Amino acid sequence: MYALVDAVSFYASAEKVFDPSIRNKPVVVLTNNDGCICAVCPIARRLGIPKFKPYFQVKSLLDKHGVVVRSSNYELYADLSDRMMNVISRFCDNQYIYSIDESFLYFDNYHSTIKDWHEYAHKIRRAVWKETKLPVGVGFGSTPTLSKAANHAAKKLSGFNGVAVIENNKSSNEVLTRMDVAEVWGIGSKIAKKLKFLGINNAAQLSRQDPKQIRKQFSVVMERTVNELNGISCLSWDEVKSPKKEIFSTRSFGQRITSKDELRAALVSHVSIVSKKLRRQSSLVKKLMVFASSSPHDELYYKQTIVYPFIMATDNSCEMAQAINYTIDSIYHEGVRFYRCGVGAIELVSKEFIQTDLFMPDHINTNLMKCLDNINHKYGDGTLKIATEGRDNKWKMRREFLSPQYTSQWRDIPKIQC
Amino acid sequence: MKVIPIYAEAGISGFESPAAEYKELGLSLDQLIIKHPNATFIGQASGHSMKGVGIFDGDILIVDRSLTAKNGDVIVANYNGSFVCKLLDKKQARLLSASADFAPVTISLEDEFSLEGVVTRSIRLHHQSPELAACML
């Protein structure tokens, strides 16, 4: 059995944990620089507040309903995510943390110990709520794709109340017939459109297709999806856990920037984020995409993208920062008021299987990077950084509606009336 | 600016300390005070109604959400949208203060009420702490 446990509109729910005054109010959370709505709590959803709309477009609607607006408080979310994941880990020896608020569990040889999966799912849900005050949805299925489907049902379909188990044809049919094909794990909007054109509208219809036929019309990946929907495991646990194939760090600026040094500083700080993520999943980058642009709403839209190829794949922050130095002159343009920039590691290789060059010195300097990561882990991100990143961060995020850092700053710990 | 102390070492070794083998990890307050780290949060008391159990204005409260509150426990609850620290009277559904100056509060159906956790420890800061200086205001 597989399970997918994830939080119900995590960012919005996290805002409610230490602020009891908004527990029963509609809450939305805005993205970086307060641009768009990225999380809508269930109460706000029932009021018809849309997700992913620019804040300024829906501001009057939010005001009308008295919706509580918050900026993304990543410090708080990171801490609550850790707590939630740790509580979940008590329930299974195989946990894979898939994202900030999702974790897969793999129950191998549990059939003799757990008789009632439904009851067990409720147990997980109650424990996470009691200990962290975060609501989660729990979906059980015999394959990863089915557990994802069950999780969707648990949270989005009526009558499930946060828990769904797909363990036989009956329970599978119940969920899949009510599930839009676009919601199936691994099906993007383009493929969903094509499927609907062929008359395949829900997940149950997709599951009844001939896998071989689907493989011809679409791909091997789709064939596996069809098999997985029928309870045939195709994704192994290791594949579920497979490292990301691309890593991006990108963000719009709190204020427009116009100088080359500031743009360089911002790009290098993105490099730091990407290189740290590379090291965490033991990947090396072969090609780095570097880009910067003005706003598409500007009269003259400027965008420049350069792909920088490394001679030897690397995860070294300094070496990657050097790539910014090589590309900055082509990216920067005098007079442009830059609105966003970013870097993306677009071609990755595994560090374990790297082909080394006999005549190249050790360019990666693994020990130095380990030292950098350990110090930043112990004393907080940004304790040690590349000097180019600078100390004055006027381009840093704008977060006007930021809640206190309840769990990571002494000055912000919650007040309790006595 | 963060300062990391690094102690100078000359790399010259004389006699090894006879106590080296007896070295253990230092005492950790976290270990003593926090039993369930994932379910525990830290808050600060504000007000005078809990003096009787030794909780004074400005004290630090360690709140454990994983415990089930028993009758008479010092608890933190969400009472009508604020965190309150009181004694729990389960039998009569009341929140009691530990001070004669404050009357018991009966929880009615109209009230918004949820238990947040049990106060397992409270900490008095006899000297002001710079980290907390801002929140003493």
User: In chain A, which residue's Cα lies nearest the Cα of B95?
Assistant: A418
Mean pLDDT of A153-168: 92
Residue numbers of A between 339 and 368 with CB closer than 8 Å to B:
none
pLDDT of residue A81 exceeding 60, the answer is yes
A79 touches chain B (CB under 8 A): no
* Single-letter amino acid code for the residue at A167: E
- What is the per-residue pLDDT for B4? 66
Q: What is the pLDDT of residues A307-322, one digit of tens each?
A: 999 988 999 999 999 9
B49 catalytic, yes or no? yes
Give the pLDDT confidence score for residue B137 in this predicted structure: 45
State how far residue A160 is from chain B, nearest Cα, in angstroms: 24
Interchain pair A87, B41: CB under 8 A: no
Q: Which is more confident, A241 or A182?
A: A182
pLDDT, greater one: B134 or A87? A87
**Residue A225 predicted with pLDDT over 70:** yes
Helix axes A144-156, A169-176, angle to 10 degrees: 60
CA distances from A177 to A172, A208, A305, A309, B57 (A): 8, 11, 44, 47, 58
- Chain B: nearest CA to A414, how far in angstroms? 5
For residues A330 and A322, the answer to whether their CB atoms sit within 8 Å is no
pLDDT tens sequence across B52-77: 999 999 999 999 999 999 999 999 99
Given a cut of 90, is residue B22 above it in pLDDT? no
- The pTM assigned to this predicted structure is 0.80
What residue in B sits closest to A391 (Cα-Cα)?
B1
The CA distance from A296 to the nearest CA of chain B, in Å, is: 37
Return the minimum-mean-pLDDT range out of A146-150, A235-239, A252-256: A235-239
Q: What is the dihedral of CA A249, A253, A254, A259, to 10 degrees?
A: 130
Distance (Å, whole) CA A362 – CA A163: 51
B86 catalytic? Reply is: yes
Q: Which residues of A touch B50 (CB under 8 A)?
A: 418
**Nearest C-alpha neighbor of A323 from the set A366, A350, A286:** A286
Q: Nearest CA of chain A to the CA of B18: how many Å?
A: 31
Q: Is the ipTM here above 0.95?
A: no
pLDDT above 60 for A174 = yes
Q: Out of B13, B23, B46, B49, which one is annotated catalytic?
A: B49
Question: Taking CB atoms and an 8 Å limit, are A416 and B50 in contact across chains?
Answer: no
Residue B73 backbone class (left: φ over 0; alpha: ψ -120 to 50; beta: rest): beta
Pick the catalytic residue: B35, B46, B86, B114? B86
Residue (of B104, B133, B68) closest to A131 by Cα position: B68
Residue A358 clears pLDDT 80, i.e. is over it: no
State CA A364 to chain mean position distance: 28
Question: Inter-chain contact A415–B83, Cβ cutoff 8 Å?
Answer: yes
How do residues A359-384 score in pLDDT, each as one tens digit?
766 778 889 999 999 998 888 788 89
Beta-sheet strand order (sheet of A27-30): A37-40, A27-30, A68-71
